[in-house]
């Protein structure tokens, strides 16, 4: 049984997802939450992770650590996205098992599902078709993590589960234009274009693909819910159940940021997967659903971006 004294390790606690989970755990009264900087613990290093687990003996592990990036970064550095994510999650899952961790929550991404998957995407559609080529390496690493947790649950009867969120956004997101995802990149582009007397904003692709977006605070709520309850399945989608075209998203962000100029779509750039809408019925039937609507979520994220503009640094791709 969990208590407020349960020792919980949040891997990747300084990232957007990990920090949201860490904040919510503390807010909810958990008093024994562990988080280490990457400079203190390199999760790619097997020996270092082994020492950490043996010295700290966490009871719950939440894996929010990953090498992440947008289309550009994924396309340019597939080896690093594949290998580093495999190293991180393999070390965390394996040493959790060896050290007797009873509850493990693995966080992945909806990109694990086939590019041309039937919509909305059910958990059973995993490995039913070809992946989106632009992020195939990352997706394969995450599929391996899902299968590792599934194997632990099946073979050892331990509560190791995987949560697959849709596209995430919120405070502490990556706003670097070379490596960010679509929503934070748009926030930055429209804001900077407004500051430059409403110059034209150029965006990739046709704007036609449909995407679902989940605020990171909603995901944190889903993680805590999954931690505090024993769920029947090993894999759950986490989303809102609604999607929006990239073109409509651009108009919404343009309105929120106050940009008055034109939008130009560069159709020579890739669109990625045509549609990614998750079937969220499994987790909803367990008793959890999202609460933050897209417009208010983007507004709060934009306000956070403005408040923290001087502290937002360019992300260096150290590959």
- Out of 9, 30, 113, 138, the active site residue is 138
Residue 211 marked in a binding site: yes
How confident is the model at residue 285, as a pLDDT? 98
Of 218, 290, 226, 239, residue with least CA distance to 60: 226
Task: Report whether pLDDT(314) > 60.
Answer: no
Angstrom distance (rounded) from CA 159 to CA 172:
29
Three-state secondary structure along 52-95?
Answer: HHHHHCCCEEEECCCCCCCHHHHHHCHHHHHHHHHHHHHHHHHH
Angstrom distance (rounded) from CA 318 to CA 174:
15
**Residue that the structure tokens 């270092």 belong to:** 48
Domains by residue range for the chain, with CATH: 8-311 (3.40.50.720)
Of 132, 157, 130, 170, residue with least CA distance to 304: 170
Residue 223 marked in a binding site: no
Of 247, 253, 248, residue with least CA distance to 271: 247
Phi, psi (deg, nearest 5) at residue 57: 50, 60
Task: Report whether pLDDT(318) > 80.
Answer: no
Q: Is 172 one of the annotated active-site residues of the chain?
A: no
How confident is the model at residue 316, as a pLDDT? 45
Average pLDDT over residues 183-187: 95
Task: Report whether pLDDT(132) > 90.
Answer: no
Residue 165 marked in a binding site: yes
pTM above 0.85, yes or no: yes
- Strand 103-107 vs strand 213-215: parallel, antiparallel, or unpaired? unpaired
Residue 48 marked in a binding site: no
């Amino acid at each position: 049984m969990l208590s407020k004294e349960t020792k919980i390790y949040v891997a990747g606690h300084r990232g957007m997802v990990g920090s949201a989970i860490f904040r919510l755990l503390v807010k909810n009264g958990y008093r024994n939450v562990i988080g280490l900087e990457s400079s203190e613990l390199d999760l790619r290093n097997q020996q270092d992770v082994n020492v950490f687990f043996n010295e700290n003996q966490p009871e719950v592990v939440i894996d929010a650590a990953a090498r992440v990036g947008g289309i550009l970064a994924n396309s340019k550095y597939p080896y690093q996205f594949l290998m580093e994510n495999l190293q991180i999650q393999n070390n965390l899952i394996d040493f959790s098992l060896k050290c007797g961790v009873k509850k493990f929550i693995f966080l992945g991404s909806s990109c694990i599902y086939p590019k041309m998957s039937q919509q909305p995407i059910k958990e059973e559609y995993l490995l039913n078709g070809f992946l989106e080529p632009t992020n195939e390496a990352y997706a394969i690493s995450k599929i391996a993590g899902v299968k590792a947790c599934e194997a632990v649950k099946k073979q050892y009867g331990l509560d190791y589960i995987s949560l697959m969120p849709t596209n995430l956004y919120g405070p502490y997101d990556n706003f670097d234009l070379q490596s960010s995802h679509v929503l934070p990149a748009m926030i930055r582009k429209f804001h900077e274009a407004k500051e430059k007397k409403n110059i034209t904003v150029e965006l990739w692709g046709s704007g036609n693909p449909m995407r679902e977006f989940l605020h990171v605070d909603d995901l944190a709520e889903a993680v805590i819910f999954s931690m505090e309850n024993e769920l029947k399945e090993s894999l759950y989608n986490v989303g809102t159940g609604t999607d929006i075209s990239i073109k409509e998203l651009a108009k919404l962000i343009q309105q929120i940021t106050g940009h008055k100029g034109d939008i130009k779509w560069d159709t020579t750039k890739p669109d990625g997967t045509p549609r990614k809408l998750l079937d969220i019925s499994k987790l909803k039937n367990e008793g959890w659903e999202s609460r933050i609507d897209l417009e208010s979520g983007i507004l709060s994220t934009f306000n956070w971006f403005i408040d923290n503009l001087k502290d937002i640094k360019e992300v260096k791709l150290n590959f």
